[in-house]
């Protein structure tokens, strides 16, 4: 099997002959978090010659270990957090909402962040998502509209390397083709297409941040099929692409350096206090700071940085830091057919439908339909979980593999003040800090919409002649692990945490690049919007510098 990732030009940041986690002198910008937002911001700033330092709480993973991590991922002995060295004590959290939120199931700490294990789908939000209150009568309006973000969407698609097509008649307008052609429909997509044609449901391709052809020095997808939680070939984008590019431009990356608190004056951050593996604490000073820790750790850090000036948490004069926590709710239905479906041959989505998305109103949320390529157990999973061998195993594989088929869907959750991230007063992490408490409240609109999604999925699978074997509906829905909304963007400092320029209202030298700034979530996977907002934040920061 050919192809693979080019080696990084440097591994650990090495200064003075050894791994050096001491602060960088005369830093222009300190970026906290080495995920896609932090990586993109750092790269854009470093390109202009700025002195940038990235502080990342987790480790730097060796690309050479990715095959071993893939093998770990397919073995039933390991749970998903173990693939990227999850640490229950370091990553401790609480969940006290009406629904349990399994935060660590899809959390990766390290250089690359959540893109180390994401699936890689990258859609733009629809135009009405930016004007939910005005158009749909619920939620909130963003202080920017689709046209404001449109050039940044195009730039983000170039930065990530997106394979896509213009075959989606329901997508918002765009200005240029995707950088690479879309992946072709899978075999099971063709089965779905026959049923959807009868039901007059449109299918179209999925834009993916993975290479359909060699691109940006990385190979085309070679079909490992384990995209979530690990891509050994590097064909799927992850944030190490931008972090390593920023390093080549002079950025310093300090890994295993969790920021404990932010020191500040009345209107500026003066330093990020971070810990190192040897138990020491250091102060990284800078002219400007970018918090890019995601929708949970970003509000947690601000709340941990409380002071007499900000007794309720830093940048929290509005009282809204941590409030309006949102995720996308999952709806799914699956079954079996009396014919091969070739599921588990492709590890990502190649077809979906946005046909019903813009029918959203106050009663029903926007949603998209997903046509799975990976329902049912894989042959490896079946072989490793049974007690039979030889002919008996072969017979079980023949009878139980290859005829599963499934659908998914993402549903918008409205922003609610009773859905939030707070500090747990009774539980601490390995550094003695209060852990995040995720209080997840979904709401009736999302639950009604999940029922509607299930009904459409049942119609499609019935048209296929499938026997239904599972369903995720309103009662057992779970999150898509898209953390949004906890430092929302707005024009009014009393009703938001950051302005349209992504700078906090309270602090002159602090920007937030994260899905935490989303006023609403829509029903599209958020990473492309995160990348677009990161580019926008970088532009505003450069103007300020």
- Output the DSSP codes for 306-346: --SSSTT-TT-TTS-TTBS-B-PEEEEEEEE-SS---TTS-
Res 67 pLDDT > 90? no
CB atoms within 10 A of CB 404: 22
pLDDT confidence bin for 392, thresholds 50/70/90: confident
Tokens coding 129:
């998502």
**Residue 216 domain-assigned?**
no
CA gap 246, 69 in Å, rounded: 25
- DSSP character string of 227-281: TTT--SSS-B--THHHHHHHHHTT-EEE-S--EEEEEE-SS-EEEEEEE-TTS-E
In this structure, the answer to whether residues 1 and 140 fall within a common structural domain is: yes
CA gap 540, 545 in Å, rounded: 9
What CATH code is carried by the domain that includes residue 231? Answer: 3.50.50.60
pLDDT confidence bin for 395, thresholds 50/70/90: confident
In this structure, the answer to whether residues 448 and 526 fall within a common structural domain is: no
Query: Which domain range does residue 16 map to?
Result: 1-162+226-328+416-438+482-545
Torsion, CA 60, CA 61, CA 64, CA 68, rounded to 10: 170
Partner residues linked to 332 by β-bridges? 408, 472
In this structure, the answer to whether residues 500 and 452 fall within a common structural domain is: no
426-437: pLDDT as tens digits: 999 999 999 999
Res 16 pLDDT > 50? no
In this structure, the answer to whether residues 457 and 530 fall within a common structural domain is: no
DSSP 111: T
**Residue 167 domain-assigned?**
no
In this structure, the answer to whether residues 347 and 294 fall within a common structural domain is: no
136-189: pLDDT as tens digits: 999 999 999 999 999 999 999 999 999 999 999 999 999 999 999 999 999 999
Tokens coding 195:
């049923």
346-380: pLDDT as tens digits: 889 999 999 999 999 999 999 999 999 988 777 77
What CATH code is carried by the domain that includes residue 342? Answer: 3.30.410
**Residue 170 domain-assigned?**
no
Q: Into how many domains does the chain fold?
A: 2
Tokens coding 32:
């906290």
- Backbone φ/ψ region at 433: left (φ over 0), alpha (ψ -120 to 50), beta: beta
Q: How far is CA 458 from the centre of its chain?
A: 28
With H, G, I as helix, E, B as strand and everything else as coil, classify residue 460. Answer: helix
**Residue 172 domain-assigned?**
no
In this structure, the answer to whether residues 300 and 362 fall within a common structural domain is: no
**Residue 302 domain-assigned?**
yes
In this structure, the answer to whether residues 312 and 389 fall within a common structural domain is: no
In this structure, the answer to whether residues 405 and 429 fall within a common structural domain is: no
pLDDT number for residue 135: 98
In this structure, the answer to whether residues 196 and 280 fall within a common structural domain is: no
pLDDT confidence bin for 83, thresholds 50/70/90: confident
Query: Nearest-CA neighbor of 368 among 531, 202, 481?
Result: 202
**Residue 211 domain-assigned?**
no
233-274: pLDDT as tens digits: 999 999 999 999 999 999 999 999 999 999 999 999 999 999
Pick from 427, 456, 476: which residue ends a domain? Answer: 476
Residue-wise over 221-237: b if at least 16 C-beta within 10 A, else e? bbebbbbbbbbbbbbbb
In this structure, the answer to whether residues 380 and 269 fall within a common structural domain is: no
Q: How far is CA 253 from the centre of its chain?
A: 21
DSSP 183: P
pLDDT number for residue 380: 72
**Residue 468 domain-assigned?**
yes
Res 91 pLDDT > 60? yes
pLDDT number for residue 6: 35
Res 18 pLDDT > 50? no
DSSP 465: T
With H, G, I as helix, E, B as strand and everything else as coil, classify residue 20. Answer: coil
Pick from 459, 476, 493: which residue ends a domain? Answer: 476
In this structure, the answer to whether residues 345 and 428 fall within a common structural domain is: no
In this structure, the answer to whether residues 25 and 55 fall within a common structural domain is: yes
**Residue 169 domain-assigned?**
no
């Amino acid at each position: 099997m050919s192809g693979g990732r080019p080696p990084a030009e440097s591994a650990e940041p090495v200064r003075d002959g050894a791994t050096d986690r001491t602060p960088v002198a005369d830093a222009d910008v300190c970026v906290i978090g080495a995920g896609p937002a932090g990586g993109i911001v750092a790269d854009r700033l470093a390109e202009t010659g700025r002195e940038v330092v990235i502080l990342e709480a987790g480790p730097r993973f060796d690309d050479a270990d990715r095959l071993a991590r893939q093998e770990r991922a397919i073995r039933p002995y390991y749970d998903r957090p173990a693939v990227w060295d999850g640490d229950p004590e370091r990553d401790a959290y609480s969940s006290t909402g009406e629904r349990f939120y399994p935060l660590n199931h899809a959390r990766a700490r390290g250089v690359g962040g959540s893109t180390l294990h994401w699936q890689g789908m990258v859609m733009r939000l629809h135009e009405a998502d930016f004007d939910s209150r005005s158009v749909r009568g619920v939620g909130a309006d963003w202080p920017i509209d689709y046209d404001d973000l449109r050039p940044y969407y195009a730039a983000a698609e170039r930065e990530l390397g997106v394979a896509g097509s213009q075959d989606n008649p329901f997508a918002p307008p765009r200005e240029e083709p995707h950088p690479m052609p879309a992946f072709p429909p899978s075999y099971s997509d063709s089965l779905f297409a026959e049923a959807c044609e009868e039901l007059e449901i449109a299918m179209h391709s999925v834009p993916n941040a993975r290479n359909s052809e060699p691109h940006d020095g990385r190979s085309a997808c070679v079909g490992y099929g384990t995209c979530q939680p690990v891509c050994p070939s590097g064909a799927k984008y992850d944030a190490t692409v931008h972090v390593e590019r920023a390093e080549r431009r002079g950025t310093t990356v300090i890994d295993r350096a969790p920021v404990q608190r932010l020191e500040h004056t009345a209107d500026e951050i003066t330093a990020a206090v971070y810990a190192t593996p040897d138990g020491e604490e250091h102060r990284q000073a800078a002219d400007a700071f970018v918090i890019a820790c995601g929708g949970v750790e970003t509000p947690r850090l601000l709340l941990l940085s409380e002071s007499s000036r900000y007794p309720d948490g830093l940048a929290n004069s509005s009282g809204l830091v941590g409030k309006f926590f949102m995720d996308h709710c999952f709806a799914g239905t699956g079954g079996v057919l009396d014919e091969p479906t070739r599921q588990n041959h492709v590890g990502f989505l190649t077809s979906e439908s946005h046909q019903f998305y813009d029918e959203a109103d106050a009663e029903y949320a926007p949603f998209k339909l997903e046509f799975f390529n990976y329902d049912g157990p894989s042959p490896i999973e079946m072989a490793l979980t049974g007690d039979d061998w030889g002919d008996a195993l072969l017979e079980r594989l023949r009878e139980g593999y290859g005829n599963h088929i499934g659908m998914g869907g993402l549903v918008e959750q409205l922003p609610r003040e009773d859905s939030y991230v707070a500090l747990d007063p009774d539980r601490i992490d390995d550094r003695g800090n209060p852990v995040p408490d995720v209080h997840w409240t979904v709401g009736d609109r999302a639950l009604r919409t999940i029922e509607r999604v299930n009904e459409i999925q049942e119609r499609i699978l019935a048209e296929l002649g499938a026997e239904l074997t599972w369903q995720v509906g309103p009662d057992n829905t779970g999150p898509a692990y898209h953390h949004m909304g906890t430092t929302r963007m707005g024009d009014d400092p009393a009703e938001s945490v950051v302005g349209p320029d992504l700078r906090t209202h309270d602090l002159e030298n602090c920007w937030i690049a994260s899905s935490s700034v989303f006023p609403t979530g829509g029903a599209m996977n958020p990473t492309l919007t995160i990348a677009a907002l990161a580019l926008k934040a970088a532009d505003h920061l450069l103007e300020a510098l």
